[in-house]
Structure 1
Amino acid sequence: MSSSRSPAARPTVFLDRDGVINRGREGYVRTPDHFEFLPGAIDGMHRLADAGWRLVIVTNQDAIAWKLLPHAQLRRIHEKMIQGLRRRGVEIDEIYYCPHRLGAECSCRKPRPGMLLAAARDLGVNPRCAWMIGDKVLDVATGHAFGCRTAWVGPKEWRARFREDIRPWRPDVVADDLAAAAKAIVRRGLREGSPRSHDRVQA
């Protein structure tokens, strides 16, 4: 898709994958059988899509660098995800993934904003009309580096473990799961030119 498209044409939500859309797994999600949607994830994505938000997944997949996950297998995992969402009427606009390990000299591994910048080029995403949703501090940091609003999601016990780490990043929305974050984002809305808000909303 041409990046000449007006950035105001469609607001965008960037979504981390593991821990937001599907259950994280010790030892990586390495097969389609390992992929399991989290409760509320599809409903949240449906709500966002119905409200006109474009859905873009941005995920670190360093299992590829460790030779634990071939690119072809990752495509099969994503195909299972896409088909599961499609059956519920949800379409993903694009998926970006970083195959590099921690410490690699790349621009794409979160918390660097390379994947979001690629989407800005490919899809005409305007940071002022975008959100980043993730369960990790690095996801929120990635959104800040890109200049968009952020939502931090996860069970309260999980968030309590990282309360001090997240504090400097001041996510705009804090929620138990993707469904709650989506509800908060849709409720707030976003228009091009709106100033980036640091008001913390507990969803």
Structure 2
Amino acid sequence: MLTTDFPLGSPCWIDLGSPDIPATAAFYGRVFGWTFQEVPETGGYGFLQLDGRTVGALGHLDGGARSAWTTYFRTADVDATVKAAEQSGATVRVPPMDVMQEGRFAALTDPQGAEFAVWQAGNTVGLDAVSEDNTLVWSELHTRDQDGGFSFYHGLFGWRVENFEPSPGMNYRVISTAEGDQQQTSFGGIAPTMQPEQPSA
């Protein structure tokens, strides 16, 4: 289960790029009761909050780009993680950079084509609330290559895996952080894509 302790390798932040921030904020406000608090001098980036606690973030996306959520995984050293990811076949979309005093991040695309980001904590460790109603509770990777997907992230974060079959013929993999009780630290899964042409995400 996700907790706000955010052990290394766990999801610690999510954000969404949108070409229309007010419309997107209004949509999630209706669905989850989230409010949007813009951060000054960030070009429109701001926090999605529930009862005053940050549960995600929202930023501007240039027209024509596909709007999508990005999951950030906590690391002790962004630069070392990026180097290891590149050596394992990942592509760097945004090189390591500081976010004021809050932390350091980079954005990557894994060898299967799924986009993700990594976060090294400064003043901000992660979200204020998870595993509650209307907050982040689970993260999944959908990929045509489950073995390759797990191998890549295991190399970066030491993830552990437990296989099970939720329905006949479907192999689902529950993932956990490297340390702690494996079931208690599970936070997501790796599932096969539903269609052969479906991109990893």
TM-score of the aligned structures, taking structure 1 as reference length: 0.28
Where is the strand percentage greater, Structure 1 or Structure 2? 2
Where is the helix percentage greater, Structure 1 or Structure 2? 1
Please say which structure displays the higher CA radius of gyration: 2
